[in-house]
Amino acid sequence: MRLILNSFDVKKHINFNIVTIISLKKFQYIFINRCNMCGIAGFYSKKNKEEALDILNRMLSLIKYRGPDESGAYYSPDICLGSVRLCIIDLKTGQMPISNEDSTLWIVFNGEIYNYIELKTSLTRAGHHFKTNSDTEVILHLFEEYGVESLNMLNGQFTFAIWNNKKRELFIARDRVGIRPLFYTSTEDGFIFASEIKALLEYPKVKPKISTKSLSQVFTFWTTLTPYTLFENIYEVSPGEYLTINENGIHHNSYWELPIYKPDEYLKTDLDHCINKFDTLFSDSIRLRMRSDVTIGTYLSGGIDSCTTTLYIKNLIGKYLRTFSIGFTEKEFDESSFQELAVDYLKTIHNKINCSIEDIAVKFPEVIWHAETVLLRTAPVPMFILSELVNKQNIKVIITGEGADELLGGYNIFKEALIRQFWAKQPDSAYRPLLLKRLYPYLSQMKSMNGFSLKLFFGYKLEETDSPVYSHLLRWHNTSHIKNYFSDDIKADLSRYEPINEFINKYKTILEGADLMSRSQWIEMKLFMSGYLLSSQGDRMSMAHSLEGRYPFLDHRIIDFCMRLPSNLKMNGLNEKFLLKKMMNGKLPQQIVQRTKQPYRAPSSKCFFSEKSPDYIENSISESNIREAGYFDFNKVNFLINKLKYGTQVSEIDHMAFIGILSTQLLNTLFVKKSDSLFEKSKNVIFNKIVIDNK
């Protein structure tokens, strides 16, 4: 035991909690067994053992919250792999890294494979032998048997890295829609990957610099275009993509693309058949996502999506279910009455927390730390607070209704596109633009708009109905107004760059021939859902509190089915989520089924101008810090601040602009300047399992 410990240059911040040591011919194992959502990290780089494990420890320490239960590492002269694990399946024997039978393949994994039991049965029949009951080991044997084709067999949410020590080759992959994050970069001495960007920054010579092009993308789309991130030379593995890394370089390939179908490819069947098919698929998706060795809860917002999900789970398990929701002290944003109605009907054991504007202001820097990107609204903060509540109730898995709006036509942007297309047929009509007043009753400025003002606001490129991105042109145009606050230097740097053109050039071939509704859905899922909803508002906020989110609407079989549905089964006239409402009619209270879509919203810039505002706000937007960072024109920012404090004609774009400016300044402080003063960050990983390959 002492001999092995001495083989490591043990630094003070590395802790080894050793129970058993098993020695084999070429490997040394250090184990601890303790009573699979995770964080992973590693690098393909030739480093000595002591240096490699020290770097890996520092990388994993920054994302320890993704897997607080245990951690592990694999080292060979060419590769170093590690993970921090949140134990959900196979609590006793699922420690990573895990190898195949002859230890030629090693894996670290973040995610859940929901059909792992069926896959394991098939692999056992084919002669594979398993030493754990984990889904992690199933991926490894499946890859050994089928190679890249194994990715198409997985039903789940995942990122993983597999090291082939015969080929000296690293294989990394990400799930179809990008539920789980994975980032990478390169230096002159290697390839580095991790579940979060902050871990990459612990690798020597990886220096953070905010990309001006990425800023332009966020201030257009609310997110970056995959594979870009907010930081130069740091990329994400795109949804549905795998990378192979060896001595010949980095090789990118896609195994799945978000489907889109032309009208002649739609399902040719009636409503009842589609309801029955969706019911079958959704029931099975719920069944698979209920697999866990720990207690599962659900979010219950009071909308039809979360109520449907909760009802299906109740019907499956036939016993008590823990549900959670968030309310707001600002009544404009509060949905408590619908939540109470849902709880009373579904008979769940419910926990609720209220969020104030002061809560949002206090938590905002920590949310930016976890999101690792610029935000244009505060909506992720309440989700951060809600996931903390769930964690305190000792729940590790939460099931949510994300994806239903995108797949079944629930968003107002889809209605807006259809109304604008209808209006474009008679662009001088005084009545057609009035239909738009029905879409946003929760926006105060909409109530006073007449036909003329509606034309001014919604008439942007009205008649360009042939544009492949017609549905989103207006939103992107409005968001782009935030770029007016850029400094002259940033504007000069971006003078020849237009993010919308980049998006169109990249995806116009895919969108050709599809109708407006399908194009709208595809764009919303490709950009907003993957880049923002499942990331900044999803994985990052839940995993900050060691909570795994599961999304039954995003089963790839359901995605394909919904994208094949005729558009009128999703948006029937202006009746959103038509199929889902028909399916749930009589199964949920009518007040919920027939409720007009109420988008999840949170208080915006007013959070940062109350009497109790934290000191960091004034510091972040001070003249000295604005000028030092160099992203924005201080005079324009100052004018905006005064408008928000004292003005009466404040628009949604004004609110978004301020939140975008503040979050950019915080990103610069937290990642570029690396300030540790805003809140306490997790530190100190304990390696519970270390595998040393001396070959």
pLDDT tens for 472-481 read 999 999 999 9
| Domain count along the chain | 2
Q: In what order do the strands lie in the sheet with 169-174?
A: 98-99, 105-113, 156-164, 169-174, 241-246, 249-254
Q: Which helix (H) or strand (E) holds 352?
A: strand 349-355
CB-CB contact of 540 with 380 (8 Å): yes
Residues 328 and 219 occupy one common structural domain: no
Angle at 603 between CA 601 and CA 607, to 5 degrees: 155
Least confident of 89-98, 151-160, 186-195: 89-98
- pLDDT for 294 equals 82
Is the pLDDT score of 500 beyond 90? Answer: yes
CATH of the domain at 273: 3.40.50.620
| Portion of the chain with pLDDT greater than 90, in percent | 79
CATH of the domain at 127: 3.60.20.10
Longest Cα–Cα distance of the chain, Å, equals 85
In whole angstroms, what is the distance from residue 359 CA to residue 607 CA? 8
Q: Assess if residue 225 is contained within a domain.
A: yes
Q: At what angle do helices 357-371 and 652-667 cross, to 10 degrees?
A: 50
- pLDDT for 16 equals 35
Q: Where are the alpha helices (DSSP H) in 536-679?
A: 540-543, 556-564, 578-584, 590-593, 615-620, 623-629, 634-646, 652-667
In whole angstroms, what is the distance from residue 181 CA to residue 173 CA? 10
Q: How sure is the predictor about 695, in pLDDT bands with cuts at 50, 70 and 90?
A: low
Q: Assess if residue 160 is contained within a domain.
A: yes
Pairing mode, if any, of strands 98-99 and 79-86?
unpaired
Closest CA to 686 of 136, 37, 70: 70
The token pair at 535 is: 């990331």
- pLDDT digit string, tens, across residues 671-689: 999 877 676 766 667 788 8
Residues 50 and 184 occupy one common structural domain: yes
Residues 90 and 203 occupy one common structural domain: yes
- pLDDT for 9 equals 34
The token pair at 213 is: 């092009």
Exposure b/e, 217-228, CB count within 10 A at least 16 = b: bbbbbbbbbbeb
Residue 465 phi, psi dihedral angles, 5° rounding: -70, -15
Contacts of 586 (CB under 8 A, 6+ apart): none
Provide the residue count of the chain: 695
The token pair at 91 is: 């609590």
- pLDDT for 599 equals 81
In whole angstroms, what is the distance from residue 514 CA to residue 525 CA? 15
Q: Assess if residue 336 is contained within a domain.
A: yes
- pLDDT for 527 equals 96
Residues 206 and 270 occupy one common structural domain: no
Which range marks the domain in which residue 187 is found? 2-256+687-693
| Portion of the chain with pLDDT greater than 70, in percent | 91
Residue 630: helix, strand or coil by DSSP? Answer: coil
In whole angstroms, what is the distance from residue 348 CA to residue 334 CA? 20
Q: Assess if residue 35 is contained within a domain.
A: yes
Q: Assess if residue 484 is contained within a domain.
A: no
Residues 242 and 300 occupy one common structural domain: no
Least confident of 29-43, 370-384, 503-517: 29-43
Is the pLDDT score of 17 beyond 50? Answer: no
What is the Cα gyration radius of the chain?
A: 25
Is the pLDDT score of 595 beyond 80? Answer: yes
- pLDDT digit string, tens, across residues 224-275: 999 999 999 999 999 999 999 999 999 999 999 999 999 999 999 999 999 9
Q: How sure is the predictor about 30, in pLDDT bands with cuts at 50, 70 and 90?
A: very low
CB-CB contact of 59 with 202 (8 Å): yes
- pLDDT digit string, tens, across residues 279-292: 999 999 999 999 88
C-alpha 334: how far from chain center: 24
Residue 296: helix, strand or coil by DSSP? Answer: strand
Residues 89 and 202 occupy one common structural domain: yes
Higher pLDDT, 25 or 181: 181
**What is the mean pLDDT of the segment spanning 51-68?**
93
Is the pLDDT score of 457 beyond 90? Answer: no
Closest CA to 141 of 116, 174, 159: 116
Please give the full DSSP string across 33-47, using - where no structure is assigned. Answer: ----EEEEEEEE---
- pLDDT for 655 equals 96
Q: For residue 541, what are the CA distances in angstroms to 159, 289, 391?
A: 18, 20, 12
Exposure b/e, 362-392, CB count within 10 A at least 16 = b: bbbbbbbbbbbbbbbbbbbbbbbbbbbbbbe
- pLDDT for 10 equals 30
Q: How sure is the predictor about 21, in pLDDT bands with cuts at 50, 70 and 90?
A: very low
* CA atoms within 13 Å, Cβ hemisphere of 136: 33
**What is the mean pLDDT of the segment spanning 38-50?**
93
**What is the mean pLDDT of the segment spanning 617-631?**
97
CB-CB contact of 47 with 73 (8 Å): no
Residues 177 and 300 occupy one common structural domain: no
β-partners of residue 489 are none
Please count the other Cβ atoms lying within 10 Å of the Cβ belonging to residue 25: 7
Residues 211 and 285 occupy one common structural domain: no
- pLDDT for 19 equals 29
Domain finish residue from 593, 620, 650 = 593
Residues 218 and 337 occupy one common structural domain: no
Question: Taking all residues of the chain, what is their mean pLDDT, rounded to a whole number?
Answer: 90
Closest CA to 179 of 520, 511, 542, 557: 542
Q: How sure is the predictor about 447, in pLDDT bands with cuts at 50, 70 and 90?
A: low
Q: Assess if residue 60 is contained within a domain.
A: yes
The token pair at 552 is: 């039954």
In whole angstroms, what is the distance from residue 685 CA to residue 326 CA? 32
Residues 305 and 245 occupy one common structural domain: no
- pLDDT for 451 equals 72
CB-CB contact of 223 with 94 (8 Å): no
Is the pLDDT score of 28 beyond 60? Answer: no
Domain finish residue from 593, 621, 648 = 593
Specify the amino acid at residue 87. Answer: C
In whole angstroms, what is the distance from residue 539 CA to residue 547 CA? 9
Is the pLDDT score of 5 beyond 80? Answer: no
pTM listed for this prediction: 0.93
Domain finish residue from 568, 593, 618 = 593
Residue 411: helix, strand or coil by DSSP? Answer: coil
Q: Assess if residue 448 is contained within a domain.
A: no
Q: What is the DSSP letter of 378?
A: S
CB-CB contact of 316 with 279 (8 Å): no
Q: Assess if residue 673 is contained within a domain.
A: no
Q: For residue 661, what are the CA distances in angstroms to 102, 263, 478, 667?
A: 53, 42, 16, 10
Phi/psi region, residue 233 (left: phi>0; alpha: psi -120 to 50; beta: rest), is left
Residues 12 and 49 occupy one common structural domain: yes
The token pair at 583 is: 């399916």
Q: At what angle do helices 652-667 and 634-646 cross, to 10 degrees?
A: 130
In whole angstroms, what is the distance from residue 182 CA to residue 192 CA? 11
**What is the mean pLDDT of the segment spanning 592-604?**
88
In whole angstroms, what is the distance from residue 536 CA to residue 262 CA? 31
**What is the mean pLDDT of the segment spanning 458-478?**
96
Please give the full DSSP string across 93-112, using - where no structure is assigned. Answer: T--SSEE-TTSSEEEEEEEE
Q: How sure is the predictor about 444, in pLDDT bands with cuts at 50, 70 and 90?
A: low
Residues 219 and 294 occupy one common structural domain: no
Phi/psi region, residue 166 (left: phi>0; alpha: psi -120 to 50; beta: rest), is alpha
In whole angstroms, what is the distance from residue 551 CA to residue 371 CA? 19
